[in-house]
Amino acid sequence: MTDINDEIPEEEHGEGLEGSLLSNPGDLDRVLDVRVDLTVELGKRKVRIAEVLDLGPGSVIEFPKSAEEPLDILVNDQLVARGEAVVIGERYGIRITEVVSPNQRLRTSGVIKEVPL
């Protein structure tokens, strides 16, 4: 499993991250009880309305993602990690295999735009 701090060189942590979160843990305590949506995404696919209307019991929808590819784990529609599906008793779970770096999260959210060279 990849640790989030392993992906950011020490000099990139900077005052912004550590100064705001770690120097005053009381500030972080204020948001720890806030509920967020956690979603595990199996896949996405665009379909025609006619295909949706044809769905019924026993219908199978195929996704382009390979069965070997990790599943995306999103918090409030933001990619934060990837993992693999597991079965725990009679329920599904997910084993986290990778945590997305803060820099990658900012890029995928559109906050940081890639500038072409």
Domain count, the chain: 1
Q: Is 102 exposed, middle or buried (0-12, 13-18, 19+ CB in 10 A)?
A: middle
Residue type, 70: P
pLDDT level of residue 51 (50, 70, 90 thresholds): very high
Q: Is residue 8 part of a domain?
A: no
Q: Is residue 22 part of a domain?
A: no
Q: Is residue 95 part of a domain?
A: yes
Query: What percentage of residues in the chain have a pLDDT greater than 90?
Result: 51
Residue 42, domain extent: 36-109
- Residues 111, 100: contact at Cβ < 8 Å? no
Q: Is residue 62 part of a domain?
A: yes
pLDDT beyond 60 at 9 = no
pLDDT beyond 80 at 117 = no
Q: Is residue 55 part of a domain?
A: yes
| Dist. CA 59–CA 55, nearest whole Å | 6
CATH code of the domain in which 100 resides: 2.30.330.10
Q: Is residue 30 part of a domain?
A: no
- Longest Cα–Cα distance of the chain, Å, equals 57
Higher-pLDDT residue of 3, 70: 70
The stretch 19-40 carries a mean pLDDT of: 78
Q: Is residue 98 part of a domain?
A: yes
